[in-house]
Every structure is written in C-alpha cells, then in structure tokens.
A and B are shown apart, each in its own frame.
Chain A
Amino acid sequence: MGIGDIWNLVAMQPVINTLIVLSQYLFNSFGLAIIALTIVVNVLMYPLTMKQIRASKAMQSLQPKLAELQKKYPKDKQKLAKEQMQMYKESGVSPAGCLLPMLIQMPIWIALFQSIMRVLAVIPENLLGLSQYLYSWPIVYSTLPLQNEFLWLNLATGDMVLALLVGGTMWLQQKMIMTPTADPKQQTQSTMMLWMMPIMFAFITLSFPSGLGLFWVTSSVIRIGIQYFVTGWGGLVKSAPRKQIARDKKYKQRIAQAEEAPSGGADIVVPSSTEEEGLGYEESGSERQDRGGGYPKSLRAIRRHPRRGGGHRRKRG
C-alpha cells in the first residue's frame, strides 16, 4: 500500500462519504454539507487553533523585549541568540508553538478541499474517479450526483462575489491578528501579509469551483469568531500611530529599568498616570495580549492593570 492509498483510506474516503451523506440529510444541498463539515472540522480542531492563537499572542507580547535585546546586542549574534533562547525559556514560549498546530491542521484542510473538488464531479472524468472513493453505503449511491446549485452560486464554477467574500474575510482575520508596531520593517512585513494572502486566495477562488471558496469563507468566519473570543477585535480597532510610538518608547524605558534592577528581582512599580491611560492600549487591541504570562518575573510587576477577561469590552475614557 503506497502513501497515496493510505492518504485516500484515512483522509479522502471518510471526508468524501461524509460530505455525500451530509448532503442527503441537509435537503440535498451540497453547499450546506460543505458549511456543516467545515464547522465540524473547526470544532474538532478548536484546541489546536486555540493553542496556535495563544502561542502567537505570547510571541507578540515578547516583541518589545526582543527589540530591546536586538538593540542591546547589535553585533554579537551569538549572545543575542543565547539571550533570546533564555528569554523564551523563562517566559515558557516556544517559537514553534504557533507553527506546529498550523502544520498539523494543514493535512486536514488539504483533505477537505481535495474532497470537495472530487465530490463536485462536474465533468465525466471526475465522476469516473469518484466511484473509487465511495463506501458501499446505499445512501451514498442514491445521493449521487450532487446538485451544484447553492444560493446564487454554481458550486462547480468560480464566482466573483464569493472571491471577494473570501478575500474580505481573510483580510479581516489577518487584520485582527496584526499588532501595531513602530518598526517600519516589521510594519512592511505585516502589511504584505495582510494583503497578499487574501488576494491570493481570492484569485484561487475565482479560478476554482466555488465549493472551495465556500469552505474558505466558512473557515475564515469561524476563525474570526475564535480570534474575537480570544483577543477581541485586535488590529481591527484603529490606534493613533503617534500614541503608539509614545507608548512603545515608554514601554522600552520600563524594560530598561527592569533590566537594570538588582538581581534579587525587586519589583519596580511604575505609577500609572492620566497620560498613560490614554496611550491607546485598548485601542490597539494589545492590552489583552499582555497578561504577564509571557514575561520574566522581573517584568511582570510593571504591568499597569492586570485584567482578566477582555479589556476590549470595557468602555474607554
């Protein structure tokens, strides 16, 4: 048995047959079947998704500290790497933490969209190939071939409106993840990420059957919901750049103070001022990311107002 056969047995066949059976029970609608299966898969992968979001959040919360380290050791790469590793170790953050769950999820997504493409079977060649993936359940055979119409869509062809929806929801999701930064290089990188992925997926949606786009839109909407639950609106809420820069400067000063503190680790208490209250923490959506969990003990005390459960929901002012 080759790797292709194993892939078909453990991934393709279950997904394909589930999609067909779901279609039968969901009013013979393949569109509803795609949405339902996408929801089920997202629910099953919820723990992994949460792990990924939390790991990303922790990584983001370490950015000021990282920037400081880079400034401190601009030429000593070895020392920099050592300090970084030490910082990751102390804070309990693993750089691979945000990538590993994504990598684990990828085969599942691939199986899902490969299955959608196969089940659509819009041309005779696809229907010939599909027969080899079917279980011998009578319901599967009486349901085929599936109807391609769903809402305004022909699920077998590309659709401009759906492509825009895919691009739009992906942009929203990406924007929520983004954290404002004063570093122009990082800003450029983030902006590129923000626009490139939605455009690429929108273009693919336009070129491939809409069933695939429907899967992407559903996935993105679910991810937006999860992201909102964990981090609030994040980068979607506007922040004033000048205030952001001012906040970063103050933040760096505090880190420097913390670094210079005696090794005994005496807490440095920085009194919060009226000015600081208006620095845009809530606006930037980064406040909830700063729960202190990702910082060395010496830095934890400088957090101004440790809050639990969603500073983004508080009214400002």
Chain B
Amino acid sequence: MRIRNNAVSMSKICLLVILLLVGLTVLGCIGIKTAPEGGSGGTIADGTLFLCPALKQAGGFGCAAPSVEGKLVAVDISDGSRLWEVPLEASEPAAGGFGCAAPATPVAIYGNPAVVGDLVYVGGYNGKIYAISSSSGALRWVYPREGKLEPIVSGVVVALGKVYFGCSDGKVYALDAATGDKQWEFPTGDKIWATPAIDGETLYIGSFDKKLYAIDAITGKQKWEKPFETEGAIASTPLVYNNMVYIGSFDRHLYAVDATNGKQIWQFPLEDEAKNKPEKWFWTRPVACNNTIYAGCFDGRIYALDAENGGKVAGLDLGSPVCSWPVLVDGSIIIASEEGKIYTLDAADNQIELLADVEEAIYAPLCASDGVIYIYSQEQNLHALNAESGARLWSQTVK
C-alpha cells in the first residue's frame, strides 16, 4: 500500500490512540456496577420461602438498558420448586437525550420481604412498596399509587397494623398494612438505607446523617430527647436486646444505647483501644445469644462482645467481608462470608467451624427454619443446607 501522506498516518495513529482511550474508559468501568442488582434474602412463612432475585446487568451502556424486571418468587422449601412468581413493574422511563429513552429505574429489591397474614410486603429500588397476596401472587396495593419515591434500599417491617420502611429521600414512612395509605412520615437528615427494627411501640432506625432515631411507631414522633449520634453514617439494622439497642456505624464502632433514653452505654472498641479497632465498618445486623453480641464486619471478622459492657469475648477471622446478616439456629450462629464460605459458631464456647462452601458471593441475609439454612447468592442460586452438618439438601437457580 502506498504511503500517500505521513500526516494521514499520524492522524490514524492518533485516532487509534483515542479509540483505545475510549475503549479503556469503557473497559475501566467494567467491574464497577452502575445499575442496582439487589437480591434479597428469603422470608419463610407456612413452608414457603419468599424471595426477590438479583437482577443481572445486560449492557447498560448507551441506550442498552440493564435488566429492570424485578420479581417476587415463592419457593417450596421442601424441594426448592417454584410455586409462583410475580413481576414487579418498572417505573416508567423518562425522555432521555440524543433520541434515546432514559432507562427505567430497575426494580432491584435489597430488603427481605415481610410476611404478615396473607400479604407479602416488599420495597423496591424503583421507589415503590408492594403488597402481594402470599397465596396467589396477586397485587393487593402499591404505594405510592401515582409516581414514585426515591429508591428504597431498606427492608420493610410490619407490626401494629402498619408497614414501616426507610427511604433514600431521608424519611421513615408508616403505611396502613391493609390499604397502603400513608399514616405518617418522619424526616431525618440524609438517606436511609437501613432496615428499621421494632420493639413494642418504638421503631429504631439509622440514617446516613450518622444518627440513630427512636420513633413512636403509632404517632411517628421522636421518642428520645435527641437522636443518638455516631461519627459515621449508619446503614446497618439495629438489634434490640434486653432493653438495649446495638448498632454498627461507618465509623468502625459498634454502639450499645439505652433503648429508653438514647444514652450510650458502651462502644466497641473504646477510644484508647486502637489495636482492637476493626479495619472496616459494620454493615450487617448483629445477633444476640447468651448475653453475647455477634457482629459481622467488613474487615472479615466476626466480633463476639459482652452485651453488658462491650468487652471483646472473641474476634474470629473469616477471611472475607461479612455482608449478610447472620442467623441463630439452635444455639449456633450461622455466618456467611462474602466469598461464599458458611461458618457455624457455637455460642457456648465461641468455637467456629467451616460448615460449607458454596463458592458464590453472598450479600443477602441468611434465613433458617427447622434446622435448615437458606442462602441466596449473587449468582442467583438458592441453596438449602443442613444447619448441623452443612450437607446440601438442594440448590435451585432463582432468577
């Protein structure tokens, strides 16, 4: 081929470099998820496990929208067979630029479904709360009926005839469980991603504004004189145990707060305990057993702390972050690490054993029933394991 113009060749090289740069830009973003996937843990009621599968991204670049179809699936816990599934509507797409329609907000579900009576309640990243018949999958009501809220990452809690949840708009909402009508809302200073906890008539919830709130579940009024404040955002769900509220924060501390007045009882670690300081933050809800608090941490450890004074009973290294809520089964704490290893921790002597390895990433909370633990992985597989032996009873793909 005749070289006509060296300048043209140089331009071509420069063009190739630019294309390479753009390509690397796109490649560089691979591995950084831009659309929510969700994937809730399961909730069991009357032999049925209700679950919202994770969405898998398909493209998501340019006009190619990721998968937006969320769904609620009912699974028979005896064999993993699917009883029914119901799609959850995506928010209507808005007009986008360059002739493309903006992608609809995906219905990723992060919080566990709540089951009360004959209804299953789920909150979606598309800013809607759904109440669905647990027997048929028929939609009973949706909130809001028109439009949508900001993304809902929080799980829902149902008690006292109301559905409670936090929203990314920084508000806590209470809806009538039967009709979906709003009962009250409570503003906080920043996003809420944490699932609330309820004890009696008090709702406890943390916010990204670094505060833990106690709210009257009936009236929606603040109960404590002032909220309990930490040094970091709060995304974990509080645990209420023996009139104390235990909450982990992004500031790498776990706090024990008096449930009646919001005063701090203890914090782990103490300010002068630098060597004990977790390297990452607490994300999961702690579990209590035998007056000991078990809290999973992103630093790959599970911390066993004295519930009364916060003294460290044990710090057990699991090798990878603990993202999913642990579960208590017959005096043993079952914990999943992010890399898919399932451990059992004997609450009597705090000895830990590897129970199984599903070899799939686990973010979703664990659930258990009748000596069987159910684990939903980010690979969209639902595993049923014997809680004592770790034997796999069945595995089903749920997507």
Residues of A within 8 A of B (CB): 59, 63, 66-67, 70, 74-75, 77, 80-81, 84, 95, 98-99, 102-103, 106, 109-110, 113-114, 117-118, 123-129, 131-132, 134, 136, 138, 141-142, 144-145, 158, 160, 163, 181, 183, 185-186, 189-190, 192-193, 196-197, 200-201, 203-204, 206-209
Task: Let me know if A189 and B250 touch, CB within 8 A.
Answer: no
Whether A84 contacts B6 in the complex (CB less than 8 A), given A138-B251, A142-B232, comes out as yes
Interface centre among B5, B13, B62, B298 (most CB of A within 10 A): B5
Docked pose: A135 CA to B14 CA in angstroms: 38
Is the CB of B36 closer than 8 A to any CB of chain A?
Answer: yes
Task: Let me know if A113 and B18 touch, CB within 8 A.
Answer: no
Task: Let me know if B4 and A118 touch, CB within 8 A.
Answer: no
- In the complex, 6 of the A-B residue pairs with CB atoms within 8 angstroms, ordered by the A residue number, are A77-B2, A125-B36, A141-B281, A186-B7, A193-B18, A208-B34
Whether A193 contacts B62 in the complex (CB less than 8 A), given A124-B110, A128-B323, A145-B208, comes out as no
Is the CB of B82 closer than 8 A to any CB of chain A?
Answer: no
Is the CB of B201 closer than 8 A to any CB of chain A?
Answer: no
Docked pose: A55 CA to B26 CA in angstroms: 28
Q: Which residues of B contact A163 (CB under 8 A)?
A: 97
Docked pose: A269 CA to B251 CA in angstroms: 76
Task: Let me know if B62 and A203 touch, CB within 8 A.
Answer: yes
B179 to chain A, nearest CB (A): 30
Chain B, residue nearest A205 (CB): B97
Whether A200 contacts B29 in the complex (CB less than 8 A), given A186-B8, A209-B34, comes out as no
Whether A110 contacts B3 in the complex (CB less than 8 A), given A138-B251, A142-B232, comes out as no
- The total of Cβ contacts below 8 Å across the A-B interface reads 139
Is the CB of B391 closer than 8 A to any CB of chain A?
Answer: no
A175 to chain B, nearest CB (A): 15
Task: Let me know if B17 and A102 touch, CB within 8 A.
Answer: yes
Docked pose: A123 CA to B15 CA in angstroms: 35
Docked pose: A200 CA to B232 CA in angstroms: 39
Residues of B within 8 A of A (CB): 2-8, 10-15, 17-18, 20-22, 24-26, 28-29, 32-37, 61-62, 96-98, 108, 110, 125, 153, 191, 193, 208, 210, 231-233, 235, 250-252, 277, 279-281, 283, 298, 321, 323, 363
Docked pose: A80 CA to B4 CA in angstroms: 10
Chain A, residue nearest B103 (CB): A207
Interface centre among A84, A181, A204 (most CB of B within 10 A): A204
Q: Which residues of A contact B36 (CB under 8 A)?
A: 123-125
Docked pose: A118 CA to B31 CA in angstroms: 10
Q: Which residues of A contact B321 (CB under 8 A)?
A: 128, 131-132
Task: Let me know if B6 and A138 touch, CB within 8 A.
Answer: no
B39 to chain A, nearest CB (A): 9
Q: Which residues of B contact A186 (CB under 8 A)?
A: 5, 7-8, 11
B14 to chain A, nearest CB (A): 7
Interface centre among B12, B34, B191, B193 (most CB of A within 10 A): B34
Chain A, residue nearest B320 (CB): A132
Docked pose: A126 CA to B97 CA in angstroms: 26
Q: Which of A63, A74, A134 contacts B280 (CB 8 A)?
A: A134
Task: Let me know if A125 and B7 touch, CB within 8 A.
Answer: no
Q: Which of A95, A102, A110 contacts B28 (CB 8 A)?
A: A110
B165 to chain A, nearest CB (A): 15
Chain B, residue nearest A107 (CB): B24
Docked pose: A127 CA to B283 CA in angstroms: 10
Q: Which of A77, A81, A118, A127 contacts B32 (CB 8 A)?
A: A118
Interface centre among B22, B97, B153, B323 (most CB of A within 10 A): B97
- Name A's interface SS: helix
Q: Which of B10, B17, B323 contacts A59 (CB 8 A)?
A: B10
B106 to chain A, nearest CB (A): 10
Q: Which residues of A contact B10 (CB under 8 A)?
A: 59, 95, 98
Whether A123 contacts B3 in the complex (CB less than 8 A), given A113-B28, A128-B283, A145-B233, comes out as no
Chain B, residue nearest A110 (CB): B28
B45 to chain A, nearest CB (A): 25
B96 to chain A, nearest CB (A): 8
Task: Let me know if B6 and A70 touch, CB within 8 A.
Answer: yes
Task: Let me know if B13 and A99 touch, CB within 8 A.
Answer: yes
Q: Which residues of B contact A208 (CB under 8 A)?
A: 29, 34
Task: Let me know if A110 and B24 touch, CB within 8 A.
Answer: yes
Q: Which of A70, A102, A201, A207 contacts B4 (CB 8 A)?
A: A70
Q: Which residues of A contact B22 (CB under 8 A)?
A: 200-201, 204
Docked pose: A163 CA to B97 CA in angstroms: 10
Q: Which residues of A contact B24 (CB under 8 A)?
A: 106, 110
Docked pose: A59 CA to B208 CA in angstroms: 55
Task: Let me know if B33 and A125 touch, CB within 8 A.
Answer: yes
Task: Let me know if A142 and B231 touch, CB within 8 A.
Answer: yes
Docked pose: A138 CA to B231 CA in angstroms: 9
Q: Which residues of A contact B34 (CB under 8 A)?
A: 117, 123, 208-209
Docked pose: A75 CA to B24 CA in angstroms: 38
Docked pose: A193 CA to B21 CA in angstroms: 14
The 3 closest A-B pairs by CB, nearest first: A189-B11, A123-B36, A117-B32
Q: Which of B5, B14, B26, B250 contacts A193 (CB 8 A)?
A: B14
Given contacts A66-B6, A114-B28, A136-B277, 12 further A-B contacts (CB under 8 A): A80-B3, A106-B20, A114-B32, A123-B125, A124-B110, A131-B281, A134-B280, A141-B251, A142-B251, A145-B250, A185-B8, A189-B7
